[in-house]
């Protein structure tokens, strides 16, 4: 017998609320050296000894590139309104500047048309971290020229797909690219220099703003925005030192992105703290970053807790943990969303990623992932709580459609609601997939009842 699935009271979401599921190019596509695709910084980074926990790479990943139709059927089987995917820049423009690669574009046209044929709205992300290596070789995101290269790439893609995709996200998680990629060096391109990281963050934000302006000038009809990874950040204890440390971390990870995007300024306390590591900012940059957006996407996984001594650890906090060692805190999502609504004037908000890694076991064609199902159900309820408090929530997307390449953790961490057997590449929907499908069906019925009433 199957273990019982978690029960949460069925909340009533607005009829136009967008339910979705998400992936990213490097994590699922594979076909790393096919049909004219250029090298990305993640292709290169995976070759560095020790960079990836299991020594793996994205050469095959989930082989999504060759299994597109079957994967589209899996997405359709969920009954979602939207599918969030990213485009590999080096697949469509191998060197990041100059010639575009028609074979690469063709893959994404098939993807978008296949979604539309199945009644699913395509949500496209232009940059989910896999920068063309050729651009890295000339300085990458630390170099201002990359900003202009990105805008040219965005314009090309929007001209080809803009009428068919419902939404275009410029960047996924600038904090991760800047800090994990250029300060701690845990992610590609593996640089360790705080000043470089802050310059990268500035260039990502600037290229986002300039791309929005260019796309709108070109007449692009998709809704445009950015996706940030955010957490509520609190002190480990009420001590003045911990409170100050938490405030600074909130500044570095939340306000450093939200203030320029929504107020046109960097937070003064963080600017002062950074000293010589502040970015070079040209006179019109902040006005460009402050360009109004049609939506803001948020990726939420866990809360942040900060102690000045660095002594706090999630492992001893007493909260349940995921396989990433991250605390499970659904109420943290409500706290984050209501705080954002309070502190900034926001466009419609979407949770663009939310989900959890657990060690799954596939037995007789089933994965009884009760913990993941409960994680998703409790976080959807947390979004409902934010809505009830007046936050302009417009959608929610599960991370991720299927198990995939979890960056520096390789294939060891499984976030999918569909299990992938990496030896055979067989896909098996987990219980969480079945739960989400049934949940969406129930939402659909509520919508119909509301329409009929």
What are the φ and ψ backbone dihedral angles of 394, each rounded to 5 degrees?
-120, -10
Instruction: Looking at residues 259 to 298 of the shown chain, list those that interact with ligand GCO (rule: CB under 6 A).
Output: none
DSSP-derived secondary structure letter, 366:
B
Which of 5, 13, 18, 24 is in the footprint of ligand GCO by CB under 6 A?
Answer: 24
Stretch of residues binding ligand GCO (CB under 6 A), selected from 170-178, 193-201, 248-256, 380-388: 170-178
The span from the CA of 451 to the CA of 453, in Å, is 6
Interface map 365-404 toward ligand GCO (x if CB under 6 A)? ----------------------------------x-----
> How many Cα atoms within 13 Å fall on the side-chain side of residue 295?
23
Q: What's the closest the beta carbon of residue 390 comes to ligand GCO, in angstroms?
A: 26
Contact between 231 and ligand GCO by CB under 6 A: the answer reads: no
Contact between 411 and ligand GCO by CB under 6 A: the answer reads: no
Contact between 323 and ligand GCO by CB under 6 A: the answer reads: no
Query: DSSP assignment of 305-351, as one string?
Result: EE-TTS---GGGSSS-B-TTS-B--HHHHHHHHHHHHHHS----EEE
Q: What's the closest the beta carbon of residue 353 comes to ligand GCO, in angstroms?
A: 5
The span from the CA of 344 to the CA of 392, in Å, is 12
Contact between 176 and ligand GCO by CB under 6 A: the answer reads: yes
Catalytic residue, candidates 173, 183, 335, 406:
173
Of 165, 195, 170, 167, give the one whose Cα is nearest residue 182: 195
Contact between 353 and ligand GCO by CB under 6 A: the answer reads: yes
Which of 88, 196, 229, 322 is in the footprint of ligand GCO by CB under 6 A?
Answer: 229
Stretch of residues binding ligand GCO (CB under 6 A), selected from 135-143, 169-177, 282-290, 434-442: 169-177
Which of 25, 146, 172, 253 is in the footprint of ligand GCO by CB under 6 A?
Answer: 172
Residue 149: enclosing H or E segment and its boundaries?
helix 145-161
**Active site includes 173?**
yes
**Active site includes 353?**
yes
Q: What's the closest the beta carbon of residue 399 comes to ligand GCO, in angstroms?
A: 5
The span from the CA of 430 to the CA of 413, in Å, is 15
The residue count for binding ligand GCO (CB under 6 A) is 11
Smaller CB separation from ligand GCO, 93 or 231: 231
Instruction: Looking at residues 30 to 89 of the shown chain, list those that interact with ligand GCO (rule: CB under 6 A).
Output: none
Which of 127, 299, 322, 334 is in the footprint of ligand GCO by CB under 6 A?
Answer: 299
Q: Is 220 left (phi over 0), alpha (psi -120 to 50) or beta?
A: beta
Contact between 188 and ligand GCO by CB under 6 A: the answer reads: no
Q: Exposed, middle or buried by CB within 10 Å (0-12, 13-18, 19+), for 6?
A: middle
Three-state SS for 23-68 is: CCHHHHCCCCCCCCCCCEHHHHHCCCCCCCCCCCCCCCCCCHHHCH
> Per the structure block, which two tokens stand in for 120?
């699913």
Q: How many residues does the chain have?
A: 453
How many other C-beta atoms are found inside a 10 Å radius of the C-beta of residue 346?
Answer: 18
Q: Which residues are catalytic?
A: 173, 353
- Residues of this chain that interact with ligand GCO (CB under 6 A) are 24, 27, 172-173, 176, 229, 299, 353, 399, 406, 415
């Amino acid at each position: 017998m199957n273990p019982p699935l978690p029960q949460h009271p069925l909340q009533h979401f607005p009829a136009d609320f967008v339910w979705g599921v998400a992936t990213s190019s490097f994590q699922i596509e594979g076909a790393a050296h096919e049909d004219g695709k250029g090298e990305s910084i993640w292709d290169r980074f995976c070759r560095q000894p020790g960079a990836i926990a299991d020594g793996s790479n994205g050469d095959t990943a989930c082989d999504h590139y060759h299994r597109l139709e079957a994967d589209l059927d899996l997405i359709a089987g969920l009954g979602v309104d939207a599918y969030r995917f990213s485009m590999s820049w080096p697949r469509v423009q191998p060197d990041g500047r100059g010639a575009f690669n028609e074979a690469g574009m063709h893959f994404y046209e098939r993807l978008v048309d296949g979604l539309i044929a199945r009644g699913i709205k395509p949500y496209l992300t232009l940059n989910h971290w896999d920068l063309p290596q050729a651009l890295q070789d000339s300085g990458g995101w630390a170099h201002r020229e990359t900003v202009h290269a990105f805008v040219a790439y965005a314009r090309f893609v929007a001209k080809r797909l803009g009428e068919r995709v419902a939404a275009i996200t410029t960047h996924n998680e600038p904090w991760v690219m800047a800090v994990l990629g250029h300060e701690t060096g845990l992610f590609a391109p593996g640089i360790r220099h705080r000043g470089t990281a802050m310059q990268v963050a500035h260039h990502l934000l600037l290229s986002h703003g300039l791309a929005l302006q260019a796309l709108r000038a070109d007449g692009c009809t998709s809704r445009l925005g950015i996706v940030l990874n955010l957490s509520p950040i609190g002190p480990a204890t009420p001590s003045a030192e911990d409170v100050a440390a938490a405030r600074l971390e909130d500044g570095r990870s939340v306000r450093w992105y939200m203030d320029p995007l929504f107020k046109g300024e960097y937070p003064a306390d963080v600017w002062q703290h950074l000293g010589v590591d502040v970015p070079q900012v040209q006179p019109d940059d902040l006005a460009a970053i402050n360009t109004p957006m049609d939506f803001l996407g948020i990726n939420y996984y866990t809360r942040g807790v900060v102690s000045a001594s660095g002594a706090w650890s999630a492992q001893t906090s007493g909260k349940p943990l995921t396989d990433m060692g991250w605390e499970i805190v659904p109420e943290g999502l409500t706290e984050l969303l209501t705080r954002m609504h309070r502190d900034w004037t926001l466009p419609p908000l979407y949770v663009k990623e939310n989900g959890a890694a657990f060690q799954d076991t596939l037995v007789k064609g089933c994965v009884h992932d009760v913990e993941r199902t409960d994680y998703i159900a409790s976080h959807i309820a947390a979004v409902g709580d934010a809505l009830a408090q007046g936050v302009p929530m417009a959608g929610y997307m599960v991370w991720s459609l299927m198990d995939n390449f979890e960056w520096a953790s390789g294939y060891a961490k499984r976030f999918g609601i569909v299990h992938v057997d990496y030896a055979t590449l067989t896909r098996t929907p987990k219980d969480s997939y079945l739960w989400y499908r049934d949940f969406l069906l129930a939402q659909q019925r509520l919508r119909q009842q509301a329409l009929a009433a």
